[in-house]
Amino acid sequence: MDSGNAAPMNSIAPPSWPWSPILYGNLSEILKETEIFRRADSLFILLDDNTEKFCFPILAPLLGNLKYTTIVIRPGEGEKQLETCQQIWKELIEGGCTRHSLLINLGGGVIGDMGGFCAAVFKRGFAQIQIPTTLLSQVDASIGNKTGIDFMHFKNIIGAFSPPEAILIDPQFLQTLPSRELVSGLAELIKHALIYDLNLWNKCLGYGKELASAEVLSSMIPQAVRIKCDVVEKDPEEKGLRKILNFGHTAGHGIESVLLEEGNPVLHGEAVAAGMIIEANISRQLGLLDEPNYLTIQTFLFDLFPKIDLSAEQIEKALVYMLQDKKNKGNSISFTLLQSPGKAVFDRMLTEPELIRLALLEYKSL
């Protein structure tokens, strides 16, 4: 399907969205509208062990008599590295992949980021489609044309901007998730609200723990997607406004990297939730965010997400990772901070680590 000027019937991207169609609904109905699969000279499907077991049975019957090759990797953030890419590229070569082939990334953020990256650089690029199967990937990771992998435990430090041919979002895949994975994805939805949409933030507060119910999510996913689209469309290459999407991620990635290195990983959304509490605290310390709003954010996030136990040594390691964040300039750590729910500021460069260390220590003590 060409995105063209006319939006597909079940498109949830804004009318002016210039990239891949973002289609939302039942996958069987979505596929009736697209010929993308049939235009390719060969079809590859990237899965991990979990999506092969729980999600591929939903997709496979819809492919009819199309021939395809599956590439299956192990699940988890620890697999998002060059060694796994080498496995994927090897299987693409063995399967006869050409620049006219198509890769379907069926999975969460790891599959989408890594599959997109592999397609972006293999033979200097061939087409790929995102079918995100986790809440986190449906509202955030699959949208925005970013691809990437981790290196030396630094998150997404190698990557490229590469738009997929389409993003196909079916909420039925959320029923395949363990509750912890589903809740993890709420972090990005909540982040969208905190940085950009006071109305959505108030809805989140109103739903509380019911936010993770299927009925609520079916109405909120499109709203969260439109926020991400609006920000990306205004700043495709992250030169300015798009940096607000990093709220919670500077501290969150630091924590996530430390625990990944130590072999005790947490889910990405759990790390981002911790990062949002920490960065809201930094916002408060700098006089940007008032105390009542900070406490509301802290309480709300702790009601949904487990606290991550951090030692003093892990906090120091997290600071080291934060100093290597790809958004930094010189010796300054770049933060996106909050002025109020629904309003964020970006490129706040902090050169004094003591303020950041204090926020991490306060999180530890909560």
pLDDT one digit per residue (tens) for the chain, 366 residues = 344 444 455 889 988 999 989 999 999 999 887 777 778 999 999 999 999 999 999 999 999 889 999 999 999 999 999 999 999 999 999 999 999 999 999 999 999 999 999 999 999 999 999 999 999 999 999 999 999 999 998 899 999 999 999 999 999 999 999 999 999 999 999 999 999 999 999 999 999 999 988 789 888 999 999 999 999 999 999 999 999 999 999 999 999 999 999 999 999 999 999 999 999 999 999 999 999 999 999 999 999 999 999 999 999 999 999 988 777 777 789 999 999 999 999 999 998 789 999 999 999 999
- Residue 8 has a pLDDT of 55
21: phi then psi, degrees, rounded to nearest 5: -65, 140
- Whether residues 81 and 151 share a domain: the answer is yes
- Whether residues 171 and 126 share a domain: the answer is yes
- The catalytically annotated residue of 192, 249, 284, 348 is 249
For the entire predicted model, the pTM comes to: 0.92
- Residue 214 has a pLDDT of 79
DSSP output for 241-304: GGGGGGTTHHHHHHHHHHHHHTT----HHHHHHHHHHHHHHHHHHTTSS-HHHHHHHHHHHHHH
- Whether residues 155 and 41 share a domain: the answer is yes
For the question of residue 228 being annotated catalytic, the response is yes
- Whether residues 143 and 193 share a domain: the answer is no
How many Cβ atoms are within 10 Å of 352's Cβ, its own excluded?
A: 10
The CATH number linked to 320 is 1.20.1090.10
For the question of residue 153 being annotated catalytic, the response is no
- Whether residues 150 and 275 share a domain: the answer is no
**Residue 102: beta bridge partners?**
43, 127
For the question of residue 357 being annotated catalytic, the response is no
Which helix H or strand E contains 72, and what residues bound it? Answer: strand 69-73
- The catalytically annotated residue of 5, 65, 67, 124 is 124
- Domain end, chosen from 161, 176, 191, is at 176
Instruction: Establish if 353 belongs to a structural domain.
Output: yes
Our measurement of the distance from residue 19's CA atom to the centroid of its chain's CA atoms, rounded to an integer in Å, reads: 18
- The catalytically annotated residue of 146, 153, 191, 226 is 146
Q: Are 321 and 353 in contact (CB under 8 A)?
A: no
- The catalytically annotated residue of 79, 165, 188, 279 is 188
For the question of residue 226 being annotated catalytic, the response is no
For the question of residue 146 being annotated catalytic, the response is yes
- Domain end, chosen from 176, 195, 211, is at 176
- The catalytically annotated residue of 155, 228, 327, 348 is 228
For the question of residue 291 being annotated catalytic, the response is no
Measured between alpha carbons, how far apart are the two ends of the chain, in Å? 51
Domain count, the chain: 2
Comparing CA positions, the residue from 362, 331, 361, 365 lying closest to residue 349 is 331
- Whether residues 172 and 194 share a domain: the answer is no
For the question of residue 74 being annotated catalytic, the response is no
CA atoms of 284 and 171, how far apart (whole Å): 36
- Domain end, chosen from 114, 145, 176, is at 176
Instruction: Tell me the CB-side half-sphere exposure of residue 51, using CA atoms within 13 A.
Output: 28
Q: Domain span at residue 247?
A: 179-365
CB-count burial class (<10 Å; 0-12, 13-18, 19+) for 237 = exposed
For the question of residue 246 being annotated catalytic, the response is yes
- The catalytically annotated residue of 155, 253, 284, 327 is 253
CA atoms of 340 and 338, how far apart (whole Å): 5
Q: Is 128 left (phi over 0), alpha (psi -120 to 50) or beta?
A: beta
CA atoms of 114 and 331, how far apart (whole Å): 29
- Whether residues 227 and 339 share a domain: the answer is yes
